[in-house]
Chains A and B, each alone.
Chain A
C-alpha cells in the first residue's frame, strides 16, 4: 500500500467531503466530526458516482409509525438509485450481507512527520506547519 497525501485537514471541515483522484481512482474523503473516512467513488450497485450523493442521517424504527433518527450525516445516499451506505464502514444499509463499497484507511499526519516520507503528494506540497489527510491505497 502506498500512502497518499490527499488534502490539508482544514480543506475538509466536519460534515464536508472532498473527491480526489488517487492512482487513477476517484475516492471520496469525508470528515465526520473530525474523523476522516475514504470510500471508492463507485456504487457497488451500478457504478454510479456514489460520493456525489447526499449525506443523510440514519432512520430506524421500533414499529410502524416510530422514526428514530441518529447519526446525522453519517450515511451516503447514492445519487443514482438512492441506496444508503454507512460512511464509516462502506456497508449497504439495505443489503449489508452482500453489498459494500470499498473503503480505504485514512490517517491524519502532521506535516513534520510526512516530510520524512515515504508518501506521495500528487497535487500540492507538504509543509511542516500543517496537518494532512493521508489515504492508504
Chain B
C-alpha cells in the first residue's frame, strides 16, 4: 500500500494545479438570459412570466445544493465570478475548471423553447464567465428532449474551443444508449467533446424504477443506480462501438459502486453475449477505456478507497472534482482521506488532460 492521504492535502493539490471537472455556476435568472434570446423568445419569456428554471434535482434551498458558507447574503451560491474564484478556484490552485450549468433548459418538454434556452445559457456562459476568467471552460448545455437540435447546438458551440464537453443528465427521457440520442454522440465525438452525464433528473419519469419516492434522500441516492442503468444502456446499445473515440464522464456519480457493478456486468455478459454481439470484449474493458468518473462524492470510508480503486482496475478513470457549490465536503477539502497519495497527480491533472481532447494542450 502506498501512503494514503491524511486530509486535508491542500498544499499537494495547490502544487499540482488541478483541473476541476465539476463546477456549477448558479443557474441564471431569466433577466440574465434575455440578452441572449432572440426577439421572439425574449418577448415570450417576458409576456409569459417564465423564470426560476433551476432544476428540481437541486432545489436552491436544499443543503446538498450548496455548502452553507458558500451562500451569499441572499442564500444563493456561486452566483458570480468573484465567489467562484474565491471559493472554488483559488483555494485549490485550480488550473482549469469546467462549468456545467444545471439549468432547466436541459429538461424542457418543449423542444423549441428548450433549444432556445439552452442556446441562451451557452451564450451566457461564454460572455459572462468564460470571457472574464481564463481558467474556466464550460459544458455545452442541450435540451435532452430533442437530440437533433441538441446536436446542432453542439455543432455551434464547438467552434468555441472553451466548450470542452457536452452536458446531459443521468435521468433523461430514455435510456442513454438509445439510437435516437446518437446524433448527440456523433457530434460530440466529431468535435472531441466528451459527454458529461451529471446527476439529476428531467423528471419526465420517476427517479426510481419502483415509482416516485417520498423523500429527497431517496431522490439523491437514487442517482447511483440510475448511473449504473445508464452506463449499462450505453454499453449494451453499442454506443462505445459506434463511437470508439467518444469518452463519457460521469459527474457527481460516485464511483465506489463500480467494482461490483463491473463484476456483475462482465459475468452476465458472458452468458448473454449473443443478445448484443457487437460487444466484442468484456464490458469492463470498454468502461475502463471510454468512461471516466469524477472524484466527488467519494462514497467510502478512508480505508476502503484504495482497494476500491484497485478493483476498478485502472488508475486513469478518476477525475478531480469539487462539485462546487454542492455540499460534498467541509474543511477536510476535496481530496478524500485515504486516497493513495501517488495517485493524486493522475487524478488531479493527468487523467483529465487525457480525457478532454481540448485540454491536452493546456500549460502545465
Binding site for B on A (CB under 8 A): 56, 59-68, 81-84, 93-95
Contact = CB atoms under 8 A, between A and B. Distances in A.
A67 B242 CA distance: 15
B270 A65 contact: no
Most buried by B among A60, A64, A81, A83: A64
A94 B242 contact: no
Interface stretch (B35-43, B149-157, B189-197, B274-282): B274-282
A63 B242 contact: yes
Nearest to B278: A61
A94 B269 contact: yes
Contact of B271 (A62, A63, A66, A83): A83
B282 A94 contact: yes
Interface of B: 179, 237-239, 241-242, 267, 269-274, 277-278, 280, 282
Given A81-B270, A82-B270, A59 B242 contact: no
A64 B282 contact: no
A68 B9 CA distance: 54
B273 A93 contact: yes
Contact of B274 (A59, A64, A66, A81): A59
Prevailing SS type, chain B contact patch: helix
Contacts of A59: 274, 277
B274 A63 contact: no
A83 to B, nearest CB: 5
A51 B91 CA distance: 64
Contact of A64 (B238, B267, B271): B238
A82 B274 CA distance: 10
Given A63-B238, A64-B241, A93-B273, 4 more contacts: A63-B278, A66-B278, A81-B267, A83-B270
Given A61-B277, A66-B278, A67-B277, A94 B241 contact: no
A63 B241 contact: yes
A84 B278 CA distance: 15
Contacts of A84: 273-274
B271 A81 contact: yes
A64 B237 contact: yes
Most buried by A among B179, B237, B269, B270: B270
Contacts of A61: 277-278, 280
Contacts of A95: 270, 282
B273 A94 contact: yes
Contacts of A68: 277
Given A63-B278, A94-B282, A82 B271 contact: yes
Given A64-B237, A94-B269, A94-B282, A56 B274 contact: yes
A60 B238 contact: no
B93 to A, nearest CB: 43
B273 A64 contact: no
Nearest to B242: A64
Contacts of A62: 278
Contacts of B270: 81-83, 94-95
Contacts of A83: 270-271
Contacts of A82: 270-272
A94 B267 CA distance: 10
29 contacts: A56-B274, A59-B274, A60-B277, A61-B277, A63-B238, A63-B241, A64-B179, A64-B237, A64-B239, A64-B242, A64-B278, A65-B179, A65-B238, A65-B278, A66-B278, A67-B277, A68-B277, A81-B267, A81-B271, A82-B271, A82-B272, A83-B271, A84-B273, A84-B274, A93-B273, A94-B269, A94-B270, A94-B282, A95-B282
Nearest to B270: A94
